[in-house]
Amino acid sequence: MHFPTSGVDVFPLTPFIVAFVVSFFTSMGGVSGAFLLLPFQVSVLGFASPSVSPTNLVYNIVAIPSGVYRYIKEGRMAWPLAWVIIAGTLPGVFIGAVFRIKYLPDPKKFKFFVGCVLLYIGIRLLYDLMKKATAKKMKTKVFEERFKERSTLMRKGLESGAVQDGVIKTVEFSLTKYTYRFYGETFSFNTIALFALTFIVGIIGGTYGIGGGAIIAPFLIAIFGLPVYTIAGAALLGTFLTSIAGVVFYTMIAPIYAHTGLAIAPDWMLGALFGAGGFLGMYCGARAQKYMPAKAIKLILALVILFLSLRYIVNIFG
């Protein structure tokens, strides 16, 4: 099948299947999977023009709602956390879109940029798994193990009241602090610090075409010490809304750059096809997340990310 906007020729089921597999695993960590689908489009499909960034965001728009719905249904959506992420990343996405078109139209330079972003994400996740745990990280690790055990008992019908305990409840939310309870444990962080972080992440995400969730989720886990089971829904929701803004912005500015010959507008058909596979994958991933070991989720993400990052960085010297 030929996709006119991107110039890609591919069997229609291929993007669907690839997106399903990728999003099934990444959605468990609060990541849409767009950060892995972009390398697939660039390296396998040969789609490397600036248009690939908004096309990747179209994938997010189509795929993410199923995962978000599942987290909301299970009461595992930390709404204040989601609002802070959205408020910070939204303005950054617009800056990132302009940066992508103006400074990284060359495929080789863009691949190097992608490699650097992925390298950081991978190292951050791997470092979190290998380093000696601080008191906060030890608390999170113990909690994640206990949560997994209780989820298993709940699935087998051996524990009552687990459903009610498994709902995220806000204890305090202000301009400087957000505290919430989940399964009897309390977690908190500085909202101003997160806002500043998400603004920078928004710029990177808008440039890359990932919405920012792939970068935010590792930070929430490794720096803020929050368990993956409580941040996945908020990270996905933030990525969804900022992706909408990013696609609209790329589409609006496309005519301005028409004279350059660069493809700026998204390939809606290709993005929707990836999104359809991601939609199903994210729903299944969000549903299966509570039965998967948190360490396994992080390790899978870290190894895949590091492999891709090194491949792209080495490419610049070729």
Output the pLDDT for position 316.
73
> Distance between the two ends of the chain, CA-based, in angstroms?
31
Higher-confidence residue: 139 or 314? 314
pTM above 0.75, yes or no: yes
**What is the pLDDT of the chain when averaged over all its residues?**
82
Backbone angles phi, psi at 189, to 5 degrees: -160, 165
The DSSP result for 26-69, as a single string, is: HGGGT--SHHHHHHIIIIIS---STTHHHHHHHHHHHHHHHHHH
Residue 112: pLDDT band by 50, 70, 90 thresholds? confident
Categorize the per-residue pLDDT at 137 as very low, low, confident or very high, splitting at 50, 70 and 90.
low
Q: Are strands 178-182 and 185-189 parallel, antiparallel or unpaired?
A: antiparallel
CA torsion through residues 308, 313, 315, 316, sign: positive
Domain boundaries defined on the chain: 13-159+193-315
Q: What is the pLDDT of residues 212-265, one digit of tens each?
A: 666 787 778 777 878 877 888 898 898 899 889 889 999 998 898 888 778 888
Indicate if the pLDDT at residue 121 is higher than 90. no
Residue 1 has a pLDDT of 87
Best-predicted range by mean pLDDT (19-28, 170-179, 284-293): 170-179
Q: Residue 311's pLDDT is what?
A: 79
* 3-state SS track over 172-206: EECCCCEEEEECCEEEEECHHHHHHHHHHHHHHHH
Least confident of 8-12, 40-44, 284-288, 313-317: 313-317
Q: pLDDT tens across 51-75, in order?
A: 998 998 999 899 888 888 888 988 8
Which among 70, 38, 72 is positioned nearest to 57, based on CA atoms? Answer: 38
Mean pLDDT for the stretch of residues 209-213:
71
CB of 72 within 8 A of CB of 279? no
Name the residue among 213, 156, 151 with its Cα closest to residue 182.
Answer: 151
- pLDDT, tens digit (0-9, with 9 covering 90-100), for 5-51: 888 999 999 999 999 998 888 777 667 778 788 888 988 999 988 89
Rounded Cα distance, 146 and 130, in Å:
20
